[in-house]
Amino acid sequence: MKKWGFLIVLIALGYIFLRSSVAMPDPDQTGVPVMELGEAVDGWSAPGREITLDLRNDVYQGDLLLVNKEYPVHAEGVRKDIVRLADERDLDRGYGILDRDIQLSRKVAEAFRQMVEAAGEEGVRYFLISSGYRGFDKQQQLYEEKGSDYALPAGHSEHNLGLSLDIGSSLGAMSEAPEGAWLQENAWKYGFILRYPKNKVNITGIQYEPWHFRYVGLPHSAIMHHKDLVLEQYLELLREEKRIGVELDGIHYSVTYYPATSNANVFIPEKGEYEISGDNMDGVIVTTSNEEQ
């Protein structure tokens, strides 16, 4: 699919430490195995509890939803915290917007602001947002005006979620601007992924879109960057492995896939946090995190 765009030089760097397991987590196991500097280390133990969750209501909402021609956005998948960036002075800093009506999830906008502020500290500061959240009506209008070569029909675009944005540079094409190179190296640290890479067209079904970034959150962006996976591949990996443990910046994460067919027993760290996201197909991903003591 063709769209206006910028060319980005791909720079793939990863330095996180991770290890996958192939079985569902044992209810008695409270540790997440990790790998550091390529060597296996002992699992960590964290006090917690097991709770029973009905995950069937979570399939169509969350940060890890797969949206494409086959899997449309459901109403509950649209972010509830959509804001107009021009009206949010605490968010509209460190970058330009090409349209004052551009909207985005507040959560995603906050992560983007933190990302461009970090880039600015390194002298990279000419970012632009050209597109963010689009309602179904706006998406359908774009599809009818531009056709299938340039847009997806309403409900089948990631922009309908509020989690995706198109990023450019006021210095010129992203293939030549430092903004593009910086994002390729660092976007994953802030929960973002380049959604449609050049070498994954046969998997995503979308032509290379070096401007289109999607928020999935940590640790998912880190794992995907480290393993060179797009969202389709990452969700398939989770379905196969059932569970992935990762240590990142002193925080231990456990990412577990559950078929959304019945109630599930989920381990929750006592002092940690957990997030739930559906995959927009037939599964739910539960991510727990706990700082190393």
Q: How many other CB atoms are there within 10 angstroms of residue 174's CB atom?
A: 23
Q: Are 154 and 137 in contact (CB under 8 A)?
A: yes
Determine the Cα angle at 91 with ends 86 and 95, to 5°. Answer: 75
Find, among 275, 252, 272, 263, the residue nearest to 48 by Cα: 272
Q: Decide: 126 and 169 in contact? Cβ < 8 Å.
A: yes
209 a catalytic residue: yes
Cα–Cα distance measured from residue 95 to residue 90, given in angstroms and rounded to the nearest whole number: 12
- Are 164 and 158 in contact by the 8 Å Cβ rule? The answer is yes
- List the end-to-end C-alpha distance of the chain, in Å, as a whole number: 48
CA angle 10, 13, 17 (to 5 degrees): 150
- CA-to-CA dists, residue 211 to 52, 77, 147, 164, 225, angstroms: 41, 23, 20, 10, 17
Measuring CA to CA, how many Å separate 209 from each of 5, 24, 163, 190? 7, 36, 16, 20
36, 121, 158, 209: which is the annotated catalytic residue?
209
Tell me which residues are annotated as active site. 209
